């Protein structure tokens, strides 16, 4: 039964990634406040926020320092922009700090309001650069099936998920997709992770040669796939891919929107997984999600090409009203300060073995095929038959049912494409809270297993 607040929601809002017709009956979970790794609904019920919001509230909820940083900047200069040569201290200081901590040499920072805008900008900058370099045919960008890079027209085209393309007339021209690096689901019988990585690298090389190396400009990848299933790449995957990219002068764009700023126990996911990106997208944890902000880390060669294009055209015709919003930048500066002062990244590395071990323990559950974590992110896959990896009929929505049971247990996790469930808690989570998270998730799985058995769904 919908409450007055829930009814008002249903009649006024469009919710992203929601089955809108069914939602009219179920209504929303309305959250009222948060503290640490916990959020509370309008009835006062606590939930352990096992997804850090949307992979983003790294420092948890109600951090007084971040709130104060926003308040101080709003009182001093609530808004100005970076168009036509204007600037302000927070944007300059944050850009300097990002250049200092980047995992590869970076020349300049371009600010956006989101990861989608950052990846959309990546597409435009790659095209702009190659026009400036006199390579107008070198425009194709290769993404991966089940990769997630956003929802603007260009970034949704990069995203390799069916629901992001269907009826939106996507992907656009010059966007290609290669195989998803998920060994559990797509590896061949007896194929090691290393051999699987070599096969995927060979497939990528075949694609580049088929399209023509002089037409392929870039390859974009998340260190760990997020919305595509919280999928951790197989052993030696990125080194094998990197060798192919180097061979054909193809840029590597690292989408660090989820993994950046400590999620894997290193400052950037690229550092954990052996990536050597040419350019990097960040967002989410850059402000612990307290205010919207994203950024593109631009290498010197790309910047020089941008200078040339600007000279030719008379301006650099790209930007957003809120690029480098002063309040967002001020919060980001404080966020980076807290990461360093409180040794947040080192803390993730210390807690990761506990998180990864509890994830691995879920593999024994009757409903779970794969369960794998890395740092403080992981995914599990629901299966009908563990031996054959046979999945349930997708229409049954078993993973979504587990998530519903988890919510009843006071835990927020997320169901994803392929009957997968993601876990991605705030980086400040304690080991005791990690145990509480997995205890609640296990109870949710048990409830789902009892429901599956009661409904005789395994044979469906």
pLDDT reported for residue 430: 98
Looking at CATH, the fold of the domain delimited by 66-341 is given as 3.40.640
Work out whether strand 279-282 and strand 294-298 pair parallel, antiparallel, or are unpaired. Answer: antiparallel
Q: Within a 10 A sphere around the Cβ of 442, how many other Cβ atoms?
A: 17
Closest by alpha carbon to 417, among 62, 232, 78, 160?
A: 160
pLDDT reported for residue 460: 57
Contact 220, 149 (CB under 8 A): yes
Q: What is the pLDDT along the chain (460 residues), one digit of tens a residue?
A: 577 898 999 999 999 888 889 889 888 999 999 999 999 999 999 999 999 999 999 999 999 999 999 999 999 999 999 999 999 999 999 999 999 999 999 999 999 999 999 999 999 999 999 999 999 999 999 999 999 999 999 999 999 999 999 999 999 999 999 999 999 999 999 999 999 999 999 999 999 999 999 999 999 999 999 999 999 999 999 999 999 999 999 999 999 999 999 999 999 999 999 999 999 999 999 999 999 999 999 999 999 999 999 999 999 999 999 999 999 999 999 999 999 999 999 999 999 999 999 999 999 999 999 999 999 999 999 999 999 999 999 999 999 999 999 999 999 999 999 999 999 999 999 999 999 999 999 999 999 999 999 888 887 5
Alpha-carbon Rg for the chain, nearest whole angstrom, is 22
pLDDT reported for residue 303: 97
Could you tell me the two tokens for 211? Answer: 């399209």
CA distance 347 to 367: 31
Q: Which residues contact 235 (CB under 8 A, 6 or more apart)?
A: 192, 193, 194, 197
Tell me the residue length of the chain: 460
Contact 197, 235 (CB under 8 A): yes
Q: Where are the alpha helices (DSSP H) in 159-298?
A: 162-165, 183-186, 193-211, 237-247, 269-273
pLDDT reported for residue 1: 58
- Structural class in CATH, domain 4-62+343-455: alpha beta
pLDDT reported for residue 389: 96
Work out whether strand 108-112 and strand 294-298 pair parallel, antiparallel, or are unpaired. Answer: antiparallel
Residue whose entry in the numeric block shows the structure tokens 């037409």:
215
Domain residue ranges of the chain, discontinuous segments joined by +: 4-62+343-455, 66-341
Q: Is 430 left (phi over 0), alpha (psi -120 to 50) or beta?
A: beta
CA distance 421 to 230: 8
């Amino acid at each position: 039964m919908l409450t007055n607040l829930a009814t008002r929601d249903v009649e006024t809002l469009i919710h992203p990634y929601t089955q809108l017709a069914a939602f009219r009956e179920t209504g929303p979970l309305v959250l009222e406040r948060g503290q640490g790794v916990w959020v509370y609904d309008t009835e006062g019920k606590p939930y352990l926020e096992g997804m850090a919001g949307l992979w983003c509230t790294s420092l948890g909820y109600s951090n007084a320092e971040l709130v104060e940083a926003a308040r101080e900047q709003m009182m001093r200069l609530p808004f100005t922009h970076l168009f036509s040569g204007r600037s302000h201290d927070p944007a300059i200081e944050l850009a300097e700090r990002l250049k200092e901590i980047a995992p590869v040499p970076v020349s300049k920072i371009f600010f956006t309001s989101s990861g989608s805008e950052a990846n959309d900008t990546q597409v435009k900058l790659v095209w702009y650069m190659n026009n400036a370099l006199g390579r107008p045919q070198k425009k194709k960008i290769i993404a991966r099936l089940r990769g997630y890079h956003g929802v603007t027209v260009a970034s949704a085209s990069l995203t390799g998920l069916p629901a992001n393309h269907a009826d939106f007339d996507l992907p656009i021209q010059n966007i290609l997709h290669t195989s998803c690096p998920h060994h559990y689901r797509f590896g061949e019988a007896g194929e090691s992770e290393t051999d699987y990585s070599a096969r995927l690298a060979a497939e990528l090389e075949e694609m580049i040669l088929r399209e023509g190396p002089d037409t392929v400009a870039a390859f974009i990848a998340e260190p760990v796939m997020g919305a595509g299933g919280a999928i951790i790449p197989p052993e030696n995957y990125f080194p094998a891919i990197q060798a192919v990219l180097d061979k054909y002068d193809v840029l590597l764009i690292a989408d660090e929107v989820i993994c950046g700023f400590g999620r894997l126990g290193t400052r950037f996911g690229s550092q954990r997984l052996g990536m050597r990106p040419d350019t990097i997208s960040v967002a989410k944890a850059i402000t612990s999600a307290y205010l919207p902000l994203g950024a593109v880390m631009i290498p010197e060669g790309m910047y020089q090409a941008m200078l040339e294009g600007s000279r030719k055209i008379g301006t650099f015709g790209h930007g957003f009203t809120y690029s480098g919003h002063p309040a967002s930048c001020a919060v980001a500066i404080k966020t980076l300060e807290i990461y360093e002062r409180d040794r947040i990244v080192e803390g993730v590395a210390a807690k990761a073995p506990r998180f990864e071990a509890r994830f691995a323990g879920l593999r024994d559950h009757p409903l779970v095929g794969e369960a794998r974590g890395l740092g403080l992110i992981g995914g599990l896959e629901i299966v009908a038959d563990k031996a054959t990896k046979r999945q349930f009929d997708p229409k049954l929505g078993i993973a979504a049912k587990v998530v519903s049971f988890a919510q009843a247990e006071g835990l927020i996790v997320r169901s994803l494409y392929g009957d997968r469930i993601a876990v991605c808690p705030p980086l400040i989570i304690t080991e005791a809270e990690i145990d509480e998270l997995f205890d609640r998730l296990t109870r949710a799985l048990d409830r789902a297993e009892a429901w599956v058995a009661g409904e005789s769904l395994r044979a469906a």
